[in-house]
Amino acid sequence: MDHKKLETLLHDMTLREKIGQVFQISGQLLAEDSAAMGPMQEMGVTQEDVLLAGTVLGVFGAEKICKIQKEYMEHHPHHIPLIFMLDVINGYRTVYPIPLAQGASFLPELSGKCAQMAAREAAAAGLHVTFSPMTDLVRDARWGRVMESTGEDVYLNGQFAKAMTGGYQGEDLAGEETLGACVKHFAGYGAPDAGRDYNTVQLTERTFREYYLPAYQAAVDAGVALVMTSFNTVNDIPATVNKKLMREILRDEMGFDGVLISDFGAIGETVAHGLSSDRADAARRALEAGVDIDMMSGVYPEKLEQLIRGGKVSEDLLDEAVMRILELKNKLGLFENPFKGADPEKEKTVILCEEHRALAREAAERSFVLLKNDGAFLPLKKGEKVALIGPYVSRKQLLGGWSFLGDAEDTVTVEEAARKLAPEWEFIFAKGCPVLDPGTKLVGFGSCEENEDEDQDAMWKAACDAAREADKVVLFLGEHFLQTGEATSRGILELPQIQQKLLREITAINPDTAVVLFNGRPLDLRVVNENAKAILEAWMPGTEGGPALIRTLTGASEPSGRLPMSFPYCVGQVPVHYDEFPTGRPYHAPDENRFLSKYLDIPNQPLYPFGYGMGYTTFSVSEVDLDREEMTRGESVTAKVTVRNTGDRPGTDVIQLYLHDVAASVVRPVKQMKGYQRITLEPGEETEVAFEIREEMLRFYTADGTWDSEPGVFEVMIGESSATESKKSFLLR
Ligand code: BGC
């Protein structure tokens, strides 16, 4: 439909119809005799409002969506189609690893392919928009939603934001296999005080702009169709009604011209924040801030008519929002084909097809991070008798907290994969203990106890017997999947006590033990590190997690992931991230000086730093070599290292480039990643890895607030993780 026709359509719509477009409803409300209508009625939302709503959250399935769309359009005075939206986060039915795990792959292009696969399945199931990617920068492992982000690094997050957006949206939003993407949560949601979800966010303007905005910007630059607001305040004003943030920063500065949707109920919540005086005030503020769609707080349908008729809000603001929504419907091709990709037949064939499972398996394999491997403990050697012990051995729930469309029944477990894929090994399987300590209550989640009728003593004894009998043990431990995701902040970052006890007891029986971890956040791994010979971080690996793990443990695949977030020594260090600012009193262990920036009881360094990870072979990285010692703007410096595979297996390494501006008009981080390269080498093979350093890579928010570089000395560090210290300097003239 051309723009003129959209304008005519808008012009012909009544006020109620227009208000309908900016109102998003839950799919349940469209079902007949819906019980969910109760709470909405209390908010003043009528059945008529529901029938005029412009977008729907939470319905899926081609047949159902086509039926709703048809009936809705027949009833609608202008036959405007609905947009169906849903959180398709790490897969639709074929579930690939959680976003934090994807970050660990350092392979944004692979995440792009996964997003494309998710879009193919979800579009066949009738959906039009996904609320992904979440590109919030995260530094605090207490926050449960770190699992939905790709981690703590500005550069890496930007790469993933771009790739995922491109993967979902493809070349053409109207295509039958694409989804509109929605980058979230704008802005700064990943920095809640004390890691507590929904909590206050206080960031200096410079930190906000330099660290937190770039990944959203990357998605905007990639043409993301929607942006979602965040629940938090940003410097004392709730983001959702923050006019400066939404109009000046997001639209004018960042150039976003798509649809801005609130987070779930977030407009109404600005009353509880103590900013909006009541729901009418909240509606006015959100519309003035340029929020086009009210997700589920009902304040737009309840209050806008009265505000506009009373002259409190200009109808032009509403028209502006409605036009953006109509434009999105147009870009999605819904005026021509309101059913878009919905296809019940294709839905059956495409979902969980072998091609999709293979991609999910590859993504899982690439996300695993080998944290420790004493004496080349892994991979397991053929012929070894191995006890696979722990609550995750036969667990189907490997999908993570946001995969509510993924069905755990589709998951191939570790045990199933071991039986099928590794006939040359003799395995013994034992659960040992449940995931959670008995009696654990996760507030708001109901009962998390599983298999309460299992004989705990027998389970424990079988695990000990298995450990005794085996040459080697692999323990499969982790968080409960409901301990990560939204509203799952934690103050203690250890494995459940019962699992720690199992680890201690099993390693006392058989010290030849490796640990595989399933978790959605960095954990305090001191106990694991002390007791296990090898540690493999497997995150929440998805539908094909079992096969990916067995292939990795037996050496058919090599772990090549790198940590996208620092793993703290303990919770007392959190938030801990590699790109910190230097202090005036830097501490380098084992300096005995009292007055340095340090703790008395724990180290400054995290247990495992950002960018860290091992493979099954070893590499040497030479000193950094620069082709010149000075450069002017417009020139570049080439930094090189020689990397050699010093082990006896082929292997992959991720070589990372870090820069440090030694003295500037504001203090600069001790290092910042500016590039990385993945290389694969045969035993004994070596290669040169070169990075071109251009002046744009040296820019930052200077003391006068401009985005620029400043002349001076820069240090160049290249190595296998953020802990690398090998450096050379050059001068920017
Ligand atoms: C979450 C969003 C999500 C939305 C819709 C909210 O609670 O914060 O990330 O997209 O619900 O499900």
Question: Higher model confidence: residue 454 or residue 536?
Answer: 536
Mean pLDDT of 100-110: 98
Give 86 Cα–ligand 1 centroid separation in angstroms: 9
| Alpha carbon nearest to ligand 1 atom 8, residue | 263
Give 240 Cα–ligand 1 centroid separation in angstroms: 14
Q: At residue 451, does pLDDT exceed 90?
A: no
Please state, in angstroms and rounded to a whole number, the distance separating the CA atoms of residues 132 and 499. Answer: 33
Q: At residue 513, does pLDDT exceed 90?
A: yes
Give 288 Cα–ligand 1 centroid separation in angstroms: 22
Ligand 1 pocket residues where CB is under 6 Å: 87, 131, 184, 263-264, 486
Give 135 Cα–ligand 1 centroid separation in angstroms: 13
Lowest model confidence (mean pLDDT) among 35-44, 90-99, 544-553, 691-700: 35-44
The predicted structure's pLDDT at residue 45: 76
Point out the catalytic residue in the list 140, 263, 294, 661.
263
Give 401 Cα–ligand 1 centroid separation in angstroms: 12
Atom index in ligand 1 nearest the CA of residue 296 equals 5
H helices within 422-544, ranges in order? 456-469, 497-509, 526-531
**Cα 371 to Cα 141, 148, 353, 613, 649, distances in angstroms:** 18, 21, 33, 6, 18
The predicted structure's pLDDT at residue 46: 82
- Write down the pTM of the prediction: 0.97
Atom index in ligand 1 nearest the CA of residue 231 equals 8
If one residue of 145, 197, 403, 486 were mutated to test the ligand 1 pocket, choosing by the most ligand atoms within 8 A of its CB, it would be 486
Atom index in ligand 1 nearest the CA of residue 184 equals 9
The predicted structure's pLDDT at residue 47: 83
Q: At residue 34, does pLDDT exceed 70?
A: no
* Residue written as token pair 């995150």: 539
As a residue count, the chain comes to 733
Residues 6+ apart with CB under 8 A from 514: 377, 378, 472, 473, 474, 475, 532, 533, 534, 535, 536, 553
If one residue of 60, 131, 143 were mutated to test the ligand 1 pocket, choosing by the most ligand atoms within 8 A of its CB, it would be 131
The predicted structure's pLDDT at residue 292: 98
Q: At residue 31, does pLDDT exceed 70?
A: no
Predicted confidence band of residue 27 (pLDDT cuts 50, 70, 90): confident
H or E element: which one contains 442?
none
Please state, in angstroms and rounded to a whole number, the distance separating the CA atoms of residues 366 and 255. Answer: 34
Mean pLDDT of 6-26: 97
Q: Is 521 in contact with 145 (CB distance < 8 Å)?
A: no
The predicted structure's pLDDT at residue 446: 79
| C-alpha dihedral sign at 518, 519, 520, 524 | negative
Mean pLDDT of 696-700: 97
Segment 494-510, tens digit of pLDDT = 999 999 999 999 999 99
Angle between helical axes of 299-309 and 315-331 (0-180°, round to 10): 140
Predicted confidence band of residue 583 (pLDDT cuts 50, 70, 90): very high
Q: What angle do CA 49, 52, 55 make, to 5 degrees?
A: 105
E-strand spans in 265-355? 294-295
Residue 480: CA atoms inside 13 Å, Cβ hemisphere, count? 22
Q: Is 718 in contact with 691 (CB distance < 8 Å)?
A: yes
Give 263 Cα–ligand 1 centroid separation in angstroms: 6
Atom index in ligand 1 nearest the CA of residue 148 equals 9
Segment 388-421, tens digit of pLDDT = 999 999 999 999 988 878 999 999 999 999 999 9
If one residue of 59, 264, 267, 295 were mutated to test the ligand 1 pocket, choosing by the most ligand atoms within 8 A of its CB, it would be 264
**Cα 553 to Cα 385, 475, 514, 626, distances in angstroms:** 13, 12, 10, 39
Q: Is 263 a catalytic residue?
A: yes
| Alpha carbon nearest to ligand 1 atom 5, residue | 264
Mean pLDDT of 549-560: 98
| Alpha carbon nearest to ligand 1 atom 11, residue | 264
Q: How far is CA 425 from the centre of its chain?
A: 35
| Alpha carbon nearest to ligand 1 atom 4, residue | 264
Do the strands 700-701 and 630-631 form a parallel or antiparallel pair, or are they unpaired? unpaired
Mean pLDDT of 305-327: 98
Give 52 Cα–ligand 1 centroid separation in angstroms: 22
Q: Tell which residue, 515, 520, 508, has the closest CA to residue 553.
A: 515
Q: At residue 36, does pLDDT exceed 60?
A: no
Tokens of residue 126, six digits: 């009738």
The predicted structure's pLDDT at residue 30: 72
The predicted structure's pLDDT at residue 465: 98
| Alpha carbon nearest to ligand 1 atom 10, residue | 131
Mean pLDDT of 239-247: 98
Atom index in ligand 1 nearest the CA of residue 134 equals 9
